[in-house]
Homo-oligomer: A and B are copies of this chain.
Amino acid sequence: MSPSEASSSRDLLPASADPTLLETPVGYVDLRRVAANAERVAKYASAHGLGWRPHIKTHKSRAIARIQLEAGAVGLTVATLHEAEVMATLTDDLLLAYPPVGARKLDRLLRLPLTLDLKVALDSVEVLQALATAAEAVGRTVGIVVEQDVGMGRVGVQSGDAVTGLASRASDLAGVEFRGILFYPGHIRMSHEEQGAHLKDVADRVHETLERLGAAGLEPGIVSGGSTPTLWRSHEVAGLTEIRSGSCIFNDREAVDVGVASRDDLAYTVLATVISTAVPGRAVVDAGSKALSKETRGNGGGFGFLLDHPEVVVASLSEEHGVLDLGSTTWRPAIGERVRVVPNHVCVSVNLQDHLLARDGDQHSLLPLEGRGRGPWKG
């Protein structure tokens, strides 16, 4: 689907809608930049023989996921059961990159369409056993991808031996099937140029794991990695089959700081309005922590910068106030002036929006965020 189709299919606004008059704050997406970002990532992946299975936590939008699939994504990655339910309507190849713990989550997982090639990442025998038992009870076989910690220290088993142990257990159980391994190099957030030694360490760990698996006769069809900060160097990890990089569809301040995107690749901003200039040296906009989130990534301190005045940083945030530091600019905004704020971390800002206001040239539309939230409650 082209950006134009994505737009027209959701056209809830007059074609002439003037963004400078629209109510703020609102997440604002440039669909042409989205399409360009999708094509760039798909082309990189293809050039290195990798699949791109984007993590849709960044956008939670069916329209944006369609753009990714049209650009060549091999499937989609999700983190929550609600994201899985929503995205299962678009693809037959889904990876839940999160262990489903608890009866209700297992139930939701196993009710996903049977036509789906469904894979689940996990790092414990407890989750593996519970999933296998539940899947076998409904006569289903779920793919298992074993998660390995490659240095972030968040989740993932700690060694190639541990991966092999879980993979072997998965091979022995009914209801599940060993499909491969997964890692997330979330600790690598320095600049693109400085990542070499860190990526080599990741590659060494993955290499060791692949050797152990091979020695045990376990063939990982999937070796899933990637992140947006390491996006263009993903291929340095030998044996990789796919990348899940998600925030590269929009990019954010961190992506620019790390050097994997330019300001021209920023497809998401928060449209905001100046509401106070009473404090000298500052101006306040109506995008606060409930629109941008208080994520402290980025080199320059603060919580974002202005797309059209990149020297201006959001120095502090209250819930409905973003305080702009005017100390490094001659720009002096008037009350009522509109600005576009680039957040530090796009995924958490999108998650705070009711919907996205999407622009395709002069056309504007609203994109619902179907995958946001936890889905219909059932205690």
Chain A residues engaging chain B, CB cutoff 8 angstroms = 12-14, 17, 21-26, 57, 79-80, 98-99, 101-105, 123-124, 126-127, 147, 149, 153-158, 186, 273-280, 282, 284, 286, 289-290, 293-296, 316, 318-321, 323, 334-336, 347-348, 351-352, 354-355, 357, 364, 366, 373-374, 377-379
Known: A26-B374, A155-B284. A14 touches B379 (CB 8 A): yes
- Please measure, in the bound complex, the distance between the C-alpha atom of A22 and the C-alpha atom of B25, giving whole angstroms: 34
Give the contacting residue for A294; candidates B80, B348, B377; CB below 8 A. B348
**A57 & B319 in contact (Cβ 8 Å cutoff):** yes
Give the contacting residue for A278; candidates B123, B321, B336; CB below 8 A. B123
- What is the chain B residue whose CB lies nearest that of A337? B101
- What is the chain B residue whose CB lies nearest that of A81? B23
Give the contacting residue for A155; candidates B23, B25, B124, B278; CB below 8 A. B278
Contacts of A378 in B (CB 8 A): 23
Known: A155-B321, A273-B101, A374-B23. A278 touches B124 (CB 8 A): yes
In the A-B complex, the 4 residue pairs with the smallest Cβ-Cβ separation, listed nearest first, are A155-B276, A123-B278, A126-B335, A23-B104
- Please measure, in the bound complex, the distance between the C-alpha atom of A280 and the C-alpha atom of B158, giving whole angstroms: 9
Name 5 extra pairs, CB < 8 A, besides A21-B102, A294-B348.
Answer: A23-B377, A26-B374, A127-B335, A154-B284, A155-B284
**A279 & B335 in contact (Cβ 8 Å cutoff):** no
Contacts of A154 in B (CB 8 A): 279, 282, 284, 316, 318, 321, 323
From A79, A127, A334, name the one whose CB has the most chain B CB atoms within 10 angstroms: A79
Give the contacting residue for A274; candidates B101, B282, B321; CB below 8 A. B101
- Please measure, in the bound complex, the distance between the C-alpha atom of A352 and the C-alpha atom of B127, giving whole angstroms: 27
- What is the chain B residue whose CB lies nearest that of A316? B154
Contacts of A295 in B (CB 8 A): 289, 294
**A379 & B127 in contact (Cβ 8 Å cutoff):** no
Known: A293-B293, A294-B295, A354-B377. A153 touches B279 (CB 8 A): yes
**B323 & A290 in contact (Cβ 8 Å cutoff):** no
Known: A23-B105, A335-B127. A158 touches B279 (CB 8 A): yes
Closest Cβ of chain B to A35, distance in Å, is: 23
- Please measure, in the bound complex, the distance between the C-alpha atom of A149 and the C-alpha atom of B213, giving whole angstroms: 64
Known: A101-B273, A274-B101, A296-B296. A186 touches B279 (CB 8 A): no
- What is the chain B residue whose CB lies nearest that of A18? B379
Contacts of A320 in B (CB 8 A): 57, 79-80, 98
Known: A24-B102, A102-B23. A153 touches B282 (CB 8 A): yes
Give the contacting residue for A335; candidates B26, B124, B321; CB below 8 A. B124
**B79 & A336 in contact (Cβ 8 Å cutoff):** no
- Please measure, in the bound complex, the distance between the C-alpha atom of A269 and the C-alpha atom of B373, giving whole angstroms: 18
**B348 & A289 in contact (Cβ 8 Å cutoff):** yes
Contacts of A348 in B (CB 8 A): 289-290, 294, 319
